[in-house]
Amino acid sequence: MTSANPQETLERLGISATTSPEPLRGGDIGQVWRVTTRQGDVLVKHADSEGLEAEADGLKALREADTGLIVPDIVGELPGALVMTYLPPARPDRHTHEAFGRGLRALHANTSTDHGWHRDNFAGTTPQINTCHEDGRVFQRECRLLPLAERCLHKKRMDQGLYDQLAGVANALESWLSDAPASLVHGDLWSGNVHFSTQGPALIDPAIYRHYPEADLALLELFGSPADAFYEAYWDGGMPDDWPRRRALFQLYPLLNHLYMFGGSYYQGVRSAIAQLPGH
């Protein structure tokens, strides 16, 4: 990581600051500042170099998807530093929530045959395996559930009994979950990474890959509930009949990640999700 000096970062990129850096919230895995420059307001982020390279890769993929959602422009990159356009926040209304729903549906309409991504990245600070598989159920088992459950077991975040139940769920996916094309997903779409800006709804801090679109939707519901207008625009009458079961499955991975990183209180959430799924 570069030294925590955003002014020095901007100087190295040839960007002239006109105000002192303003620290912002959201620096759980690094530090973030807002700075006014001659080129406009920017956000300077300092964190682990590999993590910022993966974030920049994800932002570029989101921009190329052309969904109508706002994605910060990358102004400059250095090892351990990423500079992006600053997006002023705004209070969302029904129209904004509808635009978010339509935009996310457009993102998920970008499909491919392979589940995964061309590089690994991170879920928070946890390495995220993105090895490509043609079958999404294999990807979910081999790149999501089992590797993270093994990390939790090794770190003594879960006992052998719960691990065996989760392995049973992972190995039973083919019995009920149909294979499907792989959608482009944000990958870490909790409410804090949906930014309602003056320009419209924006996506920030991606952990991008291709998989079932429910990976994004389930995480959106895990720590909050999107507005009804979002769902009306996103589903557009197409909500799957077994959404509660799919939600339980795709909430397992972020719950496991929180159990791995923070322990304690997330154990019961993992147990509850497993109890709703075949194979446990």
Residues with a catalytic annotation lie at 188
Q: What whole-number distance in Å separates Cα of residue 165 and Cα of residue 215?
A: 21
Per-position b or e across 108-142, b if 16+ CB within 10 A of its CB: bebeeebbbbeeebbbbebebbbebbebbbebbbe
Q: Which residues contact 225 (CB under 8 A, 6 or more apart)?
A: none
Tokens 């620290």 locate to: 23
Q: What whole-number distance in Å separates Cα of residue 121 and Cα of residue 211?
A: 14
Phi first, then psi: give them for residue 245, nearest 5 degrees.
-70, -40
Express the helix, strand and coil content of the chain in percent, nearest 5 each.
Answer: 45, 20, 35
Q: Report the side by side order of strands in the sheet with 40-47.
A: 22-23, 30-37, 40-47, 81-85, 74-78
Q: Which two tokens stand for residue 179?
A: 């294979």
Other CB atoms within 10 Å distance of the CB of residue 161: 8
Q: Which residues contact 34 (CB under 8 A, 6 or more apart)?
A: 21, 22, 24, 41, 42, 43, 44, 86
Give burial (CB, 10 Å; 0-12/13-18/19+) of 78: middle
